[in-house]
Structure 1
Amino acid sequence: MNWKSIKKNKYYQFFSNKYVLISLFFIVWILFLDANAWFTSHYEIDKQIAEKEQNAAFFRKGIKRDSARISQLSTQKGLEKFARERYLMKKQNEEVFIIEHPDSVKQKENE
Structure 2
Amino acid sequence: MLKRIPKWLKNRYLLTTAAFVLWVSFFDRNDLFTQGERARDLRTLQKSKTYYTTQIEAAKRELDQMTHDPSALEKFAREKYRMKKDNEDEFTIDDAPSKNAQ
Task: Name the TM-score, length of structure 2 as normaliser.
Answer: 0.66
Q: After superposition, where does 1:27-66 map in structure 2 within 5 Å?
A: 27-31=21-25, 33-66=26-59
Moved over 6 A (4+): none
RMSD: 3.0
Identity of aligned residues (%): 20
TM-superposed CA distance for 1:104, in Å, is 5.4
Q: In structure 2, give the amino acid aligned to 1:51.
A: T
Corresponding pairs, count: 93
CA offset digits 1:75-100 (Å, max 9, x no partner): 1121122234434232xxx6201123
CA contact (8 A) 2:84 2:90 kept: no
Task: Name the TM-score, length of structure 1 as normaliser.
Answer: 0.62
Change over 3 Å in CA distance of 1:104–1:18 after alignment to 2: closer
Q: Which runs of 5+ in 1 are unaligned?
A: 106-111
Change over 3 Å in CA distance of 1:21–1:76 after alignment to 2: same
Q: Highest Rg: 1 or 2?
A: 1
Q: Which among 94, 97, 108 is matched to residue 89 of structure 2?
A: 97
